[in-house]
Amino acid sequence: MTFWFNVMTREVEEHTYSDRAPASDLLGPYPTRDVAERALETARQRTEEWEADEAADDDWGAGRPTDG
């Protein structure tokens, strides 16, 4: 069995792939109910990490003299 977090209902759902809600409404699958319950927090943390990585990439080489 897999667990999904439904962003529309804000509830964890437990079901197989064939009987789940539309994919656009779900985060997952997750291996346990506990992990699914933390889906929004996990997504927020990952977004913050990705944004920090993007900012670091955007600043790469800033302020360094160029050859030429």
pTM: 0.69
In a domain, 63, yes or no: no
Taking the CA atoms of residue 14, residue 18, residue 21 and residue 23 in that order, the dihedral angle to the nearest 10 degrees is: 110
Domain count within the chain:
1
**Going along the chain, which residue ranges are E strands?**
2-6, 11-15, 26-30
pLDDT of amino acid 55: 85
pLDDT of residue 12: 96
Assess if residue 24 is contained within a domain.
no
pLDDT of res. 8: 94
pLDDT tens track of the chain, all 68 residues?
A: 889 999 999 999 998 766 777 888 999 999 999 999 999 999 999 999 999 988 888 777 666 666 65
Residue 30 near residue 18, CB atoms below 8 Å? no
Supply the Cα-derived Rg of the chain in whole angstroms.
Answer: 19
Longest CA–CA span in the chain (Å) reads: 62
Q: Which domain holds residue 4?
A: 1-13+30-55
Q: Is residue 36 part of a domain?
A: yes
